[in-house]
Chains A and B, each alone.
Chain A
Amino acid sequence: MTAVAEVVSDALPVPGAERKPLGRRRRIDPANALLAVWGVLGFLFLFFPVLVIVAYSTNTGRLLQSYQGFGFNAYVDALSNSAITDAVTVSLYVAVFSALVSAVLGSLAGVAMARRAGKAWIGWMTALLGLVLVTPEIVNGVSLLPWFVTLGTDLGLTPVNSGLVRLIIANSLFSCAVVTFIVRARMAGLSQSLEEAAADLGAPPVRRFLDITFPLMRPAVISGTLLAFTLSLDNTVLSSFVSTADATPWPVYVFASVRSTLRPSIAAMSTLMLLLTLVALALVALVLFRARKVTGDGAGLAATLAGGGGGVGGN
């Protein structure tokens, strides 16, 4: 009975799947054409200000907003201005370390939450992480500022007085919640039988983790860490509250310039950073693509990135 049902359900979609492309080729469905136009317009909208910035990075004038002539002076200015290069260095440094902190904390918590589903503390943990995600940055910023002052000066915890440490801590909060949800979403769908088999065959816990658990969670950890890195690189509100004069990250430098004068060098440095992220993105795509080929894992780049979105969305 079940066998018959399976045969029928397997056979049914085939004629439909064959018919569909033919029907599409014959005439263009106006609804589909409209959707495609809408999608392309949407992408143009998303790219528009980025293209404006790239175009204005070739502005030879003194003010960013008024285009004087074409040239690459702004790139020379940007790379020779130590305030700009220092700010970018601070941002990259903070992004790397806060991504690492979030990756470690989030991966551990994500695995624990997926594997111990149903325990009472998981509800509390989910609520806490959810609260982290729904707290606006401005509230985080204004509460961390006095907290760091209290810890650093009143309680004598001197490391907290360092601007870099403050930035790394502040930027890791949101990201570690994001990584947790991504890793949990990935691990929740996988059975534990492989690990149990390894345990039966006498593998010690460390070996089991390195050989089985970690490879399984790797796509989630990579996309989570990457997301954490970019969230940190992008962070303006929180950073402007906790940063100190000795460690000004790039967005805070730009925000300060908005209030005084915007120079084309800001657009030039942004264009360079865009190229950098594009190269990084291409590298990650390549790594994931090769990983898929090697392991035969069905999760491609799209699924991994989507897993990222799904992890956040799953909250």
Chain B
Amino acid sequence: MLAAPIGVWLLFFFVAPFLLIVWYSFGEKPSLYETHGNDVFTLQRYADAVTPAFLSTFGRTLQISLLGTVLCLLIAFPMAYWMAVKLPSRYQGIALGLVLVPYWTNFLVRTLGWQITLSPSSFVADISRSLGWGTPDLLYTAGAVQLGVVYNYLPLMILPLYVALERMDPRLLEASRDLGGNAFAGFRRITVPLAVPGIGAGLLLVFVPLMGDYVTPAVLGGAAGSMIGQQVAQQFTIAQNWALGSAMAIILMLAILAVVVLFGVLFKIVGLIVSRFEHVAVIEDAPGVSA
């Protein structure tokens, strides 16, 4: 009963609007002065959406997102591990606050900080010129977007990893050492399995907003680094073709869901294989340790 208000709220302002654009996507843009019309029922907008330009932007978006998510994991894991396991617990609150402080400066403003840094008139360019390397071509490239998204979504990876690792009992690692395991064995058999829920949550939290991001590429990407979110937005704000824009948004949504589901299934399968393999290994190792 207590959950009824949120249910109504979300049905009215989340589910209903989504169904509305599903409905629009089956329509058309009837004339220059109308944004959408549902006199026809057609899948033509989906066919219109899938142009070569759309697909190449989509491919680049997927590439930036997947690479960005993996980079976030690789940067965040040692950081979160250091914070949760190595730092004394009285400093952990401060460290966590330090992760959040930049995150609480506006997303767009932080991206502007990178834009200033990468621009040809910045101090980085000045240093490069004074060293005789010439003006570096940094801004408005796919690389700039990659840097920007890794930066912007890194805290979303650090936080769940920290939470998962912080719950780990350090005595487990000591037990592993006492039983003759080296540091790597302890890491592989104790730390990583315990961090798996945090890794899963972090990958999800980074990948999903990254796929839909259109602020970072707009500030750092220029034409070379444009992402799919910008194309969807353009149909609504500039081209005023809501039917086509809706179809694009739904394709994006379905693609994200597909990747998330695929990833979830893979995660489960890998987990099953690893747990079976590890289970056997533990039994086989046992006599070796006692010997």
Partner-B contacts on A (CB < 8 A) = 13, 16, 20, 31-32, 35-36, 38-39, 42-43, 45-53, 56, 64-67, 104-106, 108-109, 111-113, 121, 125, 128-129, 131-147, 150, 169-170, 172-173, 176-177, 180, 230, 233-234, 236-237, 241, 250-251, 254-255, 258, 262, 266-267, 270, 273-274, 277-278, 281, 285, 300-302, 305-310, 312-315
Contact = CB atoms under 8 A, between A and B. Distances in A.
B205 interface: yes
Given A50-B110, A53-B110, A305-B97, A39 B78 contact: yes
A273 B110 CA distance: 13
Given A64-B112, A125-B3, A136-B253, A277 B17 contact: no
Contacts of A46: 98-99, 102-103, 151, 154-155
Contacts of A146: 17, 20-21, 24, 35-36, 242
Contacts of B215: 236-237, 255
Nearest to A20: B174
Interface string B130-162: 000000000000000000000100110011101
A146 B34 CA distance: 13
A32 B16 CA distance: 52
B6 A105 contact: yes
29 contacts: A16-B174, A39-B87, A43-B99, A46-B102, A46-B154, A48-B113, A49-B112, A53-B116, A109-B2, A125-B6, A128-B10, A128-B14, A131-B14, A135-B14, A135-B208, A136-B229, A138-B213, A138-B232, A147-B17, A150-B20, A233-B106, A258-B218, A270-B106, A281-B100, A285-B93, A285-B97, A302-B96, A302-B166, A305-B100
A145 B83 CA distance: 42
B10 A132 contact: yes
A173 B164 CA distance: 26
Interface in B147-203: 151, 154-155, 158-160, 162-164, 166, 171, 174, 178, 183, 197-198, 201-202
B209 interface: yes
Interchain residue pairs A-B with the least CB separation, the first 8:
A136-B212, A49-B113, A313-B160, A313-B201, A309-B159, A147-B17, A302-B93, A112-B2
Given A38-B78, A138-B233, A143-B17, A306 B108 contact: no
A49 B209 contact: no
Interface of B: 1-3, 5-7, 9-10, 13-18, 20-21, 24, 35-36, 75-76, 78-79, 81-83, 86-87, 89, 92-93, 95-117, 119, 121-123, 151, 154-155, 158-160, 162-164, 166, 171, 174, 178, 183, 197-198, 201-202, 204-205, 208-209, 211-215, 218-219, 229, 232-233, 236, 242, 245-246, 249-250, 252-253, 256-257, 260
